[in-house]
Amino acid sequence: MPEELGSFRAYDYKIEYRGGDKEYIFQTESGTGYSCYFANASAYFEEYPLIKDDIVTLD
């Protein structure tokens, strides 16, 4: 089993800006690259006006 599976240690990452939003980029020890960012999901929750502007997704 690769070391990173089940590991709780932090990965080194860098932050890039894409369209004004932060994108977090990191690579595992085995060379697999990942890109994570938060996207606005408020349009999916129009029926909840009190909270809809605070909802994001992790992509």
pLDDT recorded at residue 1: 42
d(CA 50, CA 3): 43
Query: Which pLDDT tens digit goes with each residue over 1-59?
Result: 445 555 556 777 788 887 777 888 888 878 888 888 888 888 888 999 898 888 888 77
pLDDT recorded at residue 7: 59
Three-state secondary-structure class, residue 48: coil
pLDDT recorded at residue 52: 86
User: For the chain, what are the domain ranges?
Assistant: 13-58
Q: What is the pTM of this model?
A: 0.51
